[in-house]
Amino acid sequence: MELKLDRSPISQVSGHVVVYGVFQDEGVDKALQEANVALPEDVLNQLQELTVFEKFKGKSGEILSFYPGDRLPCRRFVIAGLGKRDDVGTTIRKTASNLARQFGCKEQYRRVCLALRSNGDAALVQTATEGWILGSYSFMVYKTRSEEAEKEKKPVAELVFLDETMDEHEFNQASHAGKVIAECTMFARDLINEPACSMTPSRLAQIAASLSNDRVSCRIIEEDEAARLGMGSFLGVSRGSHQPPKFIELRYQPPESNFFAAIAGKGITFDSGGLSIKTAQGMETMKYDMAGAAATLAVIKALSELQVPVRVLAVIAACENMPGGGATRPGDILTAMNGKTIEVNNTDAEGRLTLADALSWVCKEKPDAVIDIATLTGAVVTALGKVAAGIMSNNDELVSSIIAAGKKGGEKFWQLPLFDEYKESLKSDFADLKNAGSRGEAGSSSAGMFLKEFVDGVPWAHLDIAGTAWTEKDKDEYSKGGTGFGVRTLCYYLLEKGKYEVTR
Ligand code: BES
Ligand code: ZN
Ligand code: ZN
């Protein structure tokens, strides 16, 4: 799909669909006047009649349309609600996604033009581009579909933004960034939606290696080497599976950089719970327990495509949590790379065991910030539902920057505490600590507290995306399955750190 800017007045624009955005309660009349669209009198009258009759308010999601015949050069003219003017920075993403659902994939719509009232604001174009592309996503790899249906679903060839005042250079920059971020989010979704039988640790490692280029290098640490390096906590999780574990390390090193970040993604390609086995319902969607890893890979891909001037070390301790004959037993004691011993009282609290070694590993290089992203606890779903991810940290400034980046990306975070008292629940009689706290008591914070034991002297934030990484509904920019949550936030956070030229 090509992204274009057209500065001509809307009355002269040709396309299969032209969408004109109207803010809530501004009135169609006023909206059309403001943009100086110079629509023919009879078209204006018809729009007027239509909006009055249909009680059109301009709320996000509202849509009206008609076929102007030879009165306008476009085939179908659409009026779309943009919601309140003050909220447009956030609603535009949802509005664009919903427009893409209706007009983005029809064979007869090759050229779609959007007049979203951006008024020279390139950041709006960036957000709308993201929304449009994400709204068009679906995972169809394993569906047998008729040729007919295949033909009918065809993404538009040209998406044209109409804005008479937009700077061409800013447009190109913003629409490109929006496109890359959305496509990398879809890349993450594809990895998550792929079943665990195909998205194994080895496959994840292969995909990570395929991201290599002149700025991205990849190293895969195999089981024997991981053992030599002392990654006993990570390997303890993998032991019950036939799939070999892979410790993936990716480095994005641009020629210039002014910030060094490390990202650790939880990469459990399937979480059965191990010997502390989950219920049938509890493991039904556990292929998404590598959503943190998927986001991590997607962020590296986006940074390298956008050539953002920040250095990033990304690691994924990828393995499967299975109850095979070699599996770690409750009561077993593992030694992590930083020398701490862990009594495994619950093999289903495996994410933190893999992250313990991943965090120890990255902290050795003293990055400016360490961020881990993980589908870590059911408790975060209880606390925040599917609305927001939990964020826990040893550094308030880092928390504010991530929450702010999340706002730009349309992803919500809510801070949960890491009070010292939570450490009590991780006391073990036989080892330095145990991996699971008391059931039903601050599960997300005690998991965060466990991770903190493996972070040494660097600003660190832990993102618990267990609730937000997966959805059962097609809604706004989300489609059933993996959401790619975190990709946008981490991209915006690192774009900001790299002082990458973004307009908002
Ligand atoms: N992968 C799960 C967390 C999870 C639960 C993600 C639901 C998405 C949806 C994690 O490994 C896990 O099982 N955590 C346990 C920890 C407990 C045993 C201390 C949990 O949250 O129940
Ligand atoms: Zn688990
Ligand atoms: Zn898990």
Tokens representing residue 487 in the block: 């990709």
Cα angle 244-231-210, degrees, rounded to a multiple of 5: 50
Q: Answer positive or negative: Cα dihedral of 60, 468, 490, 419.
A: positive
Give me the pLDDT at residue 390, please: 99
User: Are 318 and 248 contacting, i.e. CB atoms less than 8 angstroms apart?
Assistant: yes
Cα 351 to ligand 2 centre (Å): 6
Q: Ligand 1: does its nearest atom lie under 6 Å from the Cβ of 464?
A: no
Q: What are phi and psi of 329, to 5 degrees?
A: -95, 150
How far is the CA of 434 from the CAs of 128, 448, 471, in angstroms? 46, 13, 32
Q: Ligand 1: does its nearest atom lie under 6 Å from the Cβ of 348?
A: yes
**How does pLDDT run across 18-66, given as a tens digit for each residue?**
999 999 978 887 887 766 567 888 888 888 899 999 999 999 999 999 9
**Closest ligand 1 atom number to CA of residue 437:** 19
End-to-end CA distance of the chain: 24
Give me the pLDDT at residue 502, please: 52
The distance from CA 15 to its chain's CA centroid, rounded to whole angstroms, is 32
Cα angle 344-348-349, degrees, rounded to a multiple of 5: 65
Cα 92 to ligand 3 centre (Å): 34
Q: Ligand 1: does its nearest atom lie under 6 Å from the Cβ of 466?
A: yes
Q: Ligand 1: does its nearest atom lie under 6 Å from the Cβ of 285?
A: no
Strand-pair category, 15-22 with 74-81: parallel
Cα 280 to ligand 2 centre (Å): 13
Q: Measured between alpha carbons, how far is 306 from 454 in angstroms, rounded to an integer? A: 32
**Closest ligand 1 atom number to CA of residue 379:** 21
Give me the pLDDT at residue 35, please: 60
**Closest ligand 1 atom number to CA of residue 443:** 19
Q: Ligand 1: does its nearest atom lie under 6 Å from the Cβ of 289?
A: yes
Low-confidence ranges of the chain (pLDDT < 70): 34-37, 151-152, 501-504
**How does pLDDT run across 267-320, given as a tens digit for each residue?**
999 999 999 999 999 999 999 999 999 999 999 999 999 999 999 999 999 999
Which of 59, 71, 278, 407 is catalytic? The answer is 278
Q: Ligand 1: does its nearest atom lie under 6 Å from the Cβ of 216?
A: no
Ligand nearest the Cα atom of residue 379: 1
Ligand nearest the Cα atom of residue 323: 2
Is residue 278 annotated as a catalytic residue, yes or no?
yes
Q: Give buried/exposed letters for 303-329 (b at 16+ CB in 10 A, else e).
A: bbbbebbbbbbbbbbbbbbbbeeebbe
Q: Among residues 447, 243, 466, 221, which one has the least CA distance to residue 337? A: 221
Q: Measured between alpha carbons, how far is 3 from 160 in angstroms, rounded to an integer? A: 6
Cα 474 to ligand 1 centre (Å): 24
Kindly report whether the global pTM for this prediction surpasses the value 0.85.
yes
Give me the pLDDT at residue 503, please: 45
**Closest ligand 1 atom number to CA of residue 288:** 8
Q: Measured between alpha carbons, how far is 313 from 302 in angstroms, rounded to an integer? A: 14
Cα 405 to ligand 1 centre (Å): 26
Is residue 311 annotated as a catalytic residue, yes or no?
no
Burial of 365 (0-12, 13-18, 19+ CB in 10 A): exposed
Strand-pair category, 246-252 with 216-221: antiparallel
Strand-pair category, 311-321 with 246-252: antiparallel
**Closest ligand 1 atom number to CA of residue 350:** 11
User: Are 247 and 234 contacting, i.e. CB atoms less than 8 angstroms apart?
Assistant: yes
Cα 182 to ligand 2 centre (Å): 29
Burial of 282 (0-12, 13-18, 19+ CB in 10 A): middle
Burial of 398 (0-12, 13-18, 19+ CB in 10 A): buried
CA-nearest residue for atom 8, ligand 1, is 466
Which of 266, 287, 301, 352 is catalytic? The answer is 352
Among 237, 286, 348, say which to mutate for ligand 1: greatest number of ligand atoms within 8 Å of CB: 348
